[in-house]
Structure 1
Amino acid sequence: MLNTAQNFEKAFDRFDFFDENFKTYLATHVCEDGSVAGTLECDDWVNVRNVIKFLERFYELTVKASGSHYVTSNVHFEDICELDAHLKACVATEDLSLSNMAERMREKFRKYWGDPEKMNKMIFISSVLDPRNKFVYVSFALEELFGEEVGKKVSEGVYDYMKSLFGEYLKNYSRASHHQLYPSVSTSSHDTSDVTSSSGSSSSVKSNALRTKLHLKKQKED
């Protein structure tokens, strides 16, 4: 809605100039914070564009996580980290309105993702099994998300959990017959044609550099 409205800035200015009822409504309309709306000024449109830019990342990640033609479990933890990095950057901005809004959203974010004990460890494991991430990214991202001290403890817990899962896998499949492990199933050409990787989301989601991965790359270079 805001993205569409910004294209009509001049139309709103003319509407404000020619329609007294519109000016009266804005001058008497009380906002949620108790202030009076007043006429739309240049600063208001600057705020609108800042909010659009702020919310755009949430929209892109929502589209990405809602995909049904590609795997999403392996990027779930990655998206959590990206939202955290995005909110931190917005809190640190000089725009007070944007900073305050981001701070309030971070409080809600921490309610769901601020306590590692409440998070299902399979979120981390599925990210570890993504060959683009492996354990080095997950370990680094956990420290970025929870701080160095807590992040290292969670990272150790994830590693132990991963080893226990592999132990269960060995227990269940080590006695399996060769036929069970390597069933002789012929693969026809159409079996793989319908498979779409997570990169299939790129057509609907704008490509953005991942902050956590850029940070990890810079740390490695240093």
Structure 2
Amino acid sequence: MFLFLIVPKNCHFEIVTDVVKFFEKFKTKTDLVSATSKLLVNLLIREVLYVDVHLRKSSTKLMFLEMVKDMKMKYEKYWGAYNKMNNFMYFAVLLDPTTKSPFLLHAFKKMIGYMEPSLTPADIEIKACQMVREVENRM
């Protein structure tokens, strides 16, 4: 028999709701991948990258910080090394007509180890001034 020593408060239910929403995305992806009898590589890689995006977004929430850190380490162990991934997976995605070009751009940048050029403080100031001018013009 389970006895509650404390009556749950409304904030406890909100926390549980957030946790359920967090794990529901993983359940959906797991069901999708494990329920199909003919797993297509182009669909698998999309789902794997979706998990990466979900972990990155969730890592900004304080209550998931430690848990996401551990999950991210596990993800990196199996899927994080894009340079070690079989190149045929990229070709399967490339040949899939439903794949959008931003997805390909992201995947190939990861595959070849592309590094974004760093901006100098002067470049950042120029971009910030342009954005401020654009906002002022819209007002």
- TM-score when scaled to structure 2? 0.66
Which aligned segments of 4 or more residues in structure 1 are displaced greater than 4 angstroms? none
- How far apart, CA to CA, are the structure 1 residues paired with 2:22 and 2:114? 27
Does residue 150 (structure 1) correspond to residue 131 (structure 2)? The answer is: no
Q: Which residue among 121, 125, 147 is the counterpart of 2:91?
A: 125
Amino acid at match of 1:150: G
User: Which residue number in structure 1 is paired with residue 70 of structure 2?
Assistant: 104
Unaligned runs of at least 5 residues, structure 1: 1-18, 27-37, 153-222
Question: Against the structure 1 CA distance between its residues 129 and 107, is the aligned structure 2 distance closer, same or farther, given a 3 Å change threshold?
Answer: same
Q: Is the 8 A contact 1:139 1:151 kept in 2?
A: no
Aligned residues: 115
User: Which residue number in structure 2 is paired with residue 52 of structure 1?
Assistant: 20
Amino acid at match of 2:91: I
Aligned runs of 1:73-222 on 2, under 5 Å?
Answer: 73-93=41-61, 96-133=62-99, 137-143=103-109, 146=110, 150-151=113-114
- How far apart, CA to CA, are the structure 2 residues paired with 1:136 and 1:90? 22
User: Which residue number in structure 2 is paired with residue 10 of structure 1?
Assistant: none
User: Which residue number in structure 2 is paired with residue 22 of structure 1?
Assistant: 3
- How far apart, CA to CA, are the structure 2 residues paired with 1:85 and 1:134? 16
Amino acid at match of 2:67: M
User: Which residue number in structure 2 is paired with residue 66 of structure 1?
Assistant: 34
- How far apart, CA to CA, are the structure 1 residues paired with 2:47 and 2:84? 17
Q: Name the larger-Rg structure.
A: 1
Q: Is the 8 A contact 1:127 1:133 kept in 2?
A: yes
Q: Deviations over 1:139-167 (max 9, x none)?
A: 32343xx49x7147xxxxxxxxxxxxxxx
Q: Which structure ranks higher in relative contact order (CA pairs < 8 Å, sequence separation ≥ 6)? A: 1
Question: Against the structure 1 CA distance between its residues 134 and 44, is the aligned structure 2 distance closer, same or farther, given a 3 Å change threshold?
Answer: closer
Q: Is the 8 A contact 1:50 1:98 kept in 2?
A: no
Alpha-carbon distance, 1:135 to partner: 6.4
Question: Against the structure 1 CA distance between its residues 118 and 39, is the aligned structure 2 distance closer, same or farther, given a 3 Å change threshold?
Answer: farther
Q: Is the 8 A contact 2:33 2:39 kept in 1?
A: no
Question: Against the structure 1 CA distance between its residues 87 and 120, is the aligned structure 2 distance closer, same or farther, given a 3 Å change threshold?
Answer: same
Alpha-carbon distance, 1:109 to partner: 0.7
- How far apart, CA to CA, are the structure 2 residues paired with 1:141 and 1:76? 13
Question: Against the structure 1 CA distance between its residues 73 and 46, is the aligned structure 2 distance closer, same or farther, given a 3 Å change threshold?
Answer: same
Unaligned runs of at least 5 residues, structure 2: 116-139
- How far apart, CA to CA, are the structure 1 residues paired with 2:80 and 2:11? 34
RMSD between superposed Cα atoms in Å: 2.9
Alpha-carbon distance, 1:44 to partner: 2.3
